Amino acid sequence: MPTPPRPADAKLTGLIGSLRCCQLFSGLSAEDLAAIAAFSVARRLAKDDYLFRQGAPSEGF
């Protein structure tokens, strides 16, 4: 019987799928997407919150 994926593995797989759907990352290999996903940090925002504002200093990519 196969072992179910760990929650962290499932999140990483979901993030890789999301990155693959983004035009910016669509041409990258699975290995490149996994590398980007590994150091990505998810952020939760409340409705009407801003992820960033034009002209504000960058806090990441």
The answer to whether residue 56 sits within a structural domain is no
Number of domain units in the chain: 1
Residue 37: closest CA among 8, 57, 58, 4: 8
In Å, what is the CA distance from 8 to each residue of 43, 54, 61?
Answer: 16, 33, 21
Q: Which domain holds residue 32?
A: 8-39
Res 3: pLDDT: 65
Res 6: pLDDT: 72
Res 60: pLDDT: 78
For residue 57, what are its two tokens?
A: 């200093």
The answer to whether residue 2 sits within a structural domain is no
The answer to whether residue 18 sits within a structural domain is yes
**CA triplet 34, 38, 43: central angle to 5 degrees?**
120
The answer to whether residue 46 sits within a structural domain is no
d(CA 28, CA 59): 24
Per-residue pLDDT of 2-55, as tens digits, reads 666 676 788 889 999 999 999 999 999 999 999 999 988 888 999 999 989 999
Res 1: pLDDT: 67
d(CA 37, CA 30): 10
